[in-house]
Amino acid sequence: MSKKLYLVIQQGGYSTEMYVHPHNSLKEAKADIKSCGKASYNTTEPIEIPESLSGLITAMNKDTEGDLWVLLETVARAAAELV
């Protein structure tokens, strides 16, 4: 059975800073959004990564917050491996 990954994209202190927070559950992602809101950071709603890209779960450590560009590169590489 494949796991799902939920991502929350957070706007940083500057308008051009974006960070990606990976979560293993929707509940964790929603809690992160609430926490970011308390600190006055804007976020996206949770983004569910399709099970077909579940290899990202092992590529991204749950405790790691990644730069958006690094995440996009990771997604692109994982998708390329599926072809």
Question: What is the mean predicted confidence (pLDDT) over 40-69?
Answer: 69
| Average pLDDT score over the chain | 76
**pTM to 2 decimals?**
0.65
> Does residue 7 sit in helix, strand or coil?
strand
C-alpha of 4 from chain center: 11
pLDDT at 12: 79
**Digit-coded pLDDT (tens) for 17-48:** 778 888 889 999 999 999 999 999 999 899 88
Going by C-beta distance under 8 Å and a sequence separation of 6 or more, which residues neighbour residue 6? 22, 23, 24, 25, 26, 28, 29, 46, 47, 48, 49
